[in-house]
Amino acid sequence: MAKMFFPQYASGRDGVDLVVGESVLEHIRRISGVEIDSECNGQGKCGRDIIRIERGLECLSKMSDVEKNFLEQDRLKPNQRLACQAKVVKDTRAVEVFILSFGKYTVLTDTLQTDVELNPSVFRKGDRVLYHSGDDLGPYRGKILGLAIDVGTTTLVMQVVDLETGNNIGKPMASKNPQIGYGNDVISRIAYTRNEHGLKELQEALIDGINESLKELEKQLEVEEGQITRNIYDIVAVGNSTMRSIFFGQNVHDLGVIPYEPSSKQALARKASGLGLEVHPEAMAYGPPLIGGHAGADCLANIIATRLYQNPEVQMIIDIGTNGEVVIGNKDKIMTTSCAAGGAYEGYQTRCGVGAIEGAIIEVKIENGQVKYKTLGNKPPLGVCGSGIIDLLAELLRTNVMNKRGRIKEDYHLTDGVVISQDDINQLVMAKAGLRVEQDCLARYYGIALSEISKIYLSGAFGNYIDIGNAITIGLYPAIELNRFARFGNGALAGARDILLSREKREDAERVARMIEHKKPNEIEGDNFMYMLAERINF
């Protein structure tokens, strides 16, 4: 039988058997390590899964109406196809596919190294390794390691830690979440789990990605194969409600229907081997509790890492990613809310937008009518990512190219190929308004003015890289003194690491999760919610 090959990827060079009737996208999903952006989950709407066929074109279907439409819009070149539309019609010869290169994602791995008293759930007693419950995990073999994982919708970040010393083993490992080929948002992933084997596919893609990263770490550290993996006895995995649930193979259907709540918010503990993780056979995997709605264990990890739950002063955490979370509180009372508002600022939902990839415009300045910009890796510009979009909106506003209602007279060209349209701006201002309404409502429910909050922690890549002043200018963040903002790096990973190293932090996480009030402003405000959005669309 003939095969389909993906020469760009080591794992794709052996090929996968051609299956008549399946799309190229479906073939890609059968190979671990071969990645493609499919924001709409193969529905032919996003136009991001662009491929080039080097040979075997005659084995594929003719260009579909969807592709022809993209071709007419100059979003597809004559020698290109969409992976979701190109289907195998015969298996008589090999097909060689090149996925349009969109660069390597820059994934935030920096975390604040918090002070935590070392008291892990796995420890050495004599020549044995024990779990805190008393379970004997086997003989001591020279190391007791743990693994902290932040399962993001778009990215996957991990850190191996020595549980006897608290020291990190190597640098954090970062990659795109392999599930991105099934859709770029949680709704797409939830929808895919309704397929017969959808949940299993998504979980396996994620677990395979983790296993591959661990193998790569051993290569980087030039240690014997298995020297790290076979000594990992404990794992803490955090993520939003959907990502953490899929990691553990739990049904996520309830998160896709009203009232959008997980079927269970309890902490989870499973044998890692049962999940398919290639670590010590007796290792345990722990998932901290979920908070509510789409506010999951990653939000809880942020609260643990910032120590907000121990502070007498009222503080706030803002984490804008594919899903956005806002937290407000102190040691006595904590509230959270969540919203799916990050997509527009992560390069999705706007035609000029790209993720944090090489060639992404990350800084923008308009001087004397001329655009000056910087790109990731100093590569030719491909589009604008989150930090660049914030700068661009602020500069358009400052130079009166855009008015305070978010209107421009004509498309604005940053470069010959990178253009922002009115439709793009509409998407961005709606996302901005939604994020700001969440902040305003949460402060009001708490009974405090935003100006009275002592500190605002900015967690995640978005908060770490953007110009805070420009974010205030466009109304994304409250207009308070810059010294009250604190960039916190990857707070979710920092919190997962704390929980890995300290049984007390694990207990804190479970206790704090029970005291958090999760609010849903769109439900609380009813019809008034749309008026609030409309008010905050203006700059």
Give the DSSP H or E segment for 533: helix 528-537
| Domain boundaries for CATH 3.30.420.480 within the chain | 122-299
pLDDT-based confidence at residue 109 (cuts at 50, 70, 90): low
Token pair recorded at residue 459 = 């967690």
- Which comes out higher in pLDDT, residue 227 or 351? 227
What integer pLDDT is reported at residue 30 of this predicted model? 86
As a whole-number percent, the residues of the chain with pLDDT over 70 amount to: 95
Torsion over CA: 316, 320, 321, 325 (sign): positive
What integer pLDDT is reported at residue 242 of this predicted model? 96
pLDDT-based confidence at residue 358 (cuts at 50, 70, 90): confident
Range list of β-strands (E), 66-144: 80-82, 95-99, 122-125, 128-131, 136-139
Per-residue pLDDT for 102 more than 60?
no
Per-residue pLDDT for 476 more than 60?
yes
Token pair recorded at residue 89 = 């019609």
Average pLDDT over residues 139-165: 95
- Which comes out higher in pLDDT, residue 410 or 101? 410
Token pair recorded at residue 189 = 């992933």
What integer pLDDT is reported at residue 348 of this predicted model? 59
CA 103 to chain centre: 17
Crossing angle of helices 528-537/422-446, nearest 10°? 120
What integer pLDDT is reported at residue 377 of this predicted model? 82
Phi, psi for residue 429 in degrees, rounded to 5? -70, -30
Average pLDDT over residues 68-97: 91
Token pair recorded at residue 305 = 């890492």
DSSP 349-396: SSTTB--SBTTEEEEEEEETTEEEEEEGGGPPP-EE-HHHHHHHHHHH
Grouping H, G, I as helix, E, B as strand and the rest as coil, residue 303 is: helix
What integer pLDDT is reported at residue 33 of this predicted model? 64
Q: How far apart are CA 519 and CA 511, in angstroms?
A: 18
Predicted confidence (pLDDT) per residue in 374-396, tens digit: 998 888 887 888 889 999 999 99
Q: How big is the chain, counted in residues? A: 539
Torsion over CA: 354, 358, 363, 368 (sign): negative
Label the pairing between strands 145-151 and 232-239: parallel
Q: How far apart are CA 133 and CA 152, in angstroms?
A: 30
Q: How far apart are CA 280 and CA 214, in angstroms?
A: 13
Contact 59, 203 (CB under 8 A): no
Per-residue pLDDT for 347 more than 80?
no
What integer pLDDT is reported at residue 141 of this predicted model? 93
What integer pLDDT is reported at residue 36 of this predicted model? 81
What integer pLDDT is reported at residue 104 of this predicted model? 56
Contact 231, 218 (CB under 8 A): no
Predicted confidence (pLDDT) per residue in 400-424, tens digit: 999 999 999 999 999 987 899 999 8
**Which of 67-81, 359-373, 386-400 shows the lowest mean pLDDT across its residues?**
67-81
pLDDT-based confidence at residue 463 (cuts at 50, 70, 90): confident
Predicted confidence (pLDDT) per residue in 419-459, tens digit: 999 998 998 898 889 899 999 999 999 999 999 999 999 99
What integer pLDDT is reported at residue 121 of this predicted model? 97
CATH C-level class of 3-99 = alpha beta
What integer pLDDT is reported at residue 504 of this predicted model? 97
pLDDT-based confidence at residue 110 (cuts at 50, 70, 90): low
What integer pLDDT is reported at residue 29 of this predicted model? 87
Contact 493, 148 (CB under 8 A): yes
Contact 331, 300 (CB under 8 A): no
First to last CA, the chain: 60
Q: Which whole-number Å values give the CA distances from 357 to 321, 361, 374, 428, in the listed order?
A: 15, 9, 13, 20
Contact 356, 385 (CB under 8 A): yes
pLDDT-based confidence at residue 22 (cuts at 50, 70, 90): very high
What integer pLDDT is reported at residue 106 of this predicted model? 57
The label of the residue with tokens 């990839």 reads: 357
Round the average pLDDT of the chain to a whole number and report it. Answer: 90
Token pair recorded at residue 159 = 């850190």
| Domain boundaries for CATH 3.10.20.30 within the chain | 3-99
Which of the following CATH numbers is that of domain 122-299: 3.50.30.50, 3.30.420.480, 3.40.190.10, 2.60.120.10? Answer: 3.30.420.480
- Please report, to the nearest 10 degrees, the dihedral formed by the alpha carbons of residues 83, 85, 91, 96 taken in order: -30
The whole-model pTM stands at: 0.84
Per-residue pLDDT for 8 more than 60?
yes
What integer pLDDT is reported at residue 200 of this predicted model? 94
Predicted confidence (pLDDT) per residue in 286-334, tens digit: 999 999 999 999 999 999 999 999 999 999 999 987 778 999 999 999 9
